[in-house]
Amino acid sequence: MSEPERSSDSLDAVLTWLAGEPGDDPVSDLALLRSHLVAAGDDTLSISQREELLDLFRLRALDISGRFRPCLLTATLPLPRDLHVPAATLIDSLLVIAEHYRVVLADLQRRWLRSRRQELVVLSGHALGLVGEACMIGAMAGAAAPFGLWQRAHVLWLASGLREQMNE
């Protein structure tokens, strides 16, 4: 099987999983999310395909996070290992998706079209929302913000192009 066919089959499996109903267990859904996140970095996808895929990953990650929060709300600190590991994995997954958004934003900035300025703002907002969710899950888990979180947030805000708009 050639590389593009394998890539297409892998992408089809990811899209099928994302289109399906989430499982009942957020931890098992999180493991599946982690295994499928590699597809977001596929260089053979067009920018619009990557944007759509990232949006689906973002929605699934936020769904998993929303279903995982009640577990954190009822837990005592320090978290037991069976909650600490999934919380750390969820935080990392949210930040990985945000990083994929940053890569797409950088690609869009290289092809700078004024008509796509609003798209930069929207994509940056999605990524910043994921960074904020990672920060919230970390706080609920009794953990410090991951190293570099605020720098990531600043880079994503700069990528939105709003700083340039403020100066105009």
CA separation, residue 148 to residues 55, 124, 137, 139, 155 (Å): 23, 17, 16, 15, 11
Return d(Cα 77, Cα 95) in angstroms, integer.
Answer: 23
Ranges of H-type helices in the chain: 3-19, 26-36, 47-74, 81-110, 117-140, 149-159, 162-167
Distances (CA, A) of 95 to 10, 44, 152, 168: 22, 22, 9, 31
Q: Which residue has the tokens 């066919």?
A: 5
Give, for all 168 residues of the chain, the pLDDT tens digit: 455 555 677 889 999 999 999 999 999 999 999 999 999 989 899 989 999 999 999 999 999 999 999 999 999 999 999 999 999 999 999 999 999 999 999 988 887 666 578 889 999 999 999 999 999 999 999 999 999 999 999 999 999 887 766 666
Q: Say how many C-beta atoms besides its own lie within 10 A of residue 40's C-beta.
A: 21
CB 87 within 8 A of CB 105: no
Both tokens of 42, joined, read 């596929």
CA–CA gap between residue 163 and residue 52 (Å, rounded)? 26
